[in-house]
Amino acid sequence: MQFEQSHLYHIYNRGNNSQKIFFNRENYLFFLDKIKKNILPHADILSWCLMPSHFHLMVHVNNVEVEISEQVTLSHLLTKRRSLNDSISIILRSYTRAIQKQENLTGSLFQNRTKASCLTQMEGISPAWFQSNFGAIINISDPAKEYPQICFDYIHANPVKDGFVKIQEEWEFSSARDYAGLRNGKLINKDRANEFGLVY
């Protein structure tokens, strides 16, 4: 995954062979804590959804790399640079180890590659057009505004689409509850979402 500062990305992965990755409520909360600790130093989260077999994050990258300080010994602090890619890998590896221990599993929990699609650099998209009695009419759209909203809506619609709930706000493990005013979660940045015109 190649991230660039000041762009929006849809980050997602699923269980290897579409297997479950979350087995109980504590697993979801544990994963969210890992996201908070490892993603927020790099990016603002605009929307998220954790499903039994996969997860989605929509982020605005603020820093591709950050300085991380780790206590090596009581008297020695080690400071190093960590990329967003490294932070995502840390989340998945440490979560996998915890689930392997909990469920007595071996092997990969997640698919090999976590995907990250840039939503604000849409190259190679030409405007749609059609012929009318008055000549060619070109539909000029702004993909930089349309695709983020489509992704934002798609992430929140996942639990309904997969039949877990009837309305988005019923799913506990999604930012839909925060946008609907049913919870005051600290994971998403609503101001950043407003900057991109994202509407729930």
Convert the pLDDT of each residue in 152-161 to its tens digit: 999 999 999 9
pLDDT band at 124 (very low <50, low <70, confident <90, very high): very low
- Residue 126 reports pLDDT greater than 90: no
pTM of the complete model: 0.85
Radius of gyration in angstroms for the set of CA atoms belonging to the chain, rounded to a whole number: 19
Residues 112 and 106: beta-carbon distance below 8 Å: no
DSSP β-bridge partners for residue 77: 71
Residues in the chain: 200
> Is residue 186 classed exposed, middle or buried when 0-12, 13-18 and 19+ CB atoms within 10 A define those classes?
exposed
CATH fold, domain 8-195, is Alpha-Beta Plaits (3.30.70)
Residue 188: beta bridge partners?
45
DSSP of 26-91: HHHHHHHHHHHHHHTTTEEEEEEEEETTEEEEEEEES-SEEEEEEEEETTEEEEEEEEHHHHHHHH
Whether pLDDT at 137 is above 90: no
- Domain regions of the chain by residue span: 8-195
Q: Angle of helix 25-39 relative to helix 84-103, nearest 10 degrees?
A: 160
The per-residue pLDDT for range 70-87, each reduced to its tens digit, is 777 888 888 889 999 999
pLDDT of residue 75: 81
Q: How far is CA 23 from the centre of its chain?
A: 20
Extended beta strands in 101-176, E state? 115-118, 128-132, 135-139
Q: Sign of the C-alpha dihedral, residues 129, 7, 161, 103?
A: positive
Q: Residue 30's pLDDT is what? A: 98
Contact 33, 64 (CB under 8 A): no
Count CB neighbours of 31 within 10 A: 21
The Cα–Cα gap between 194 and 44 comes to: 12
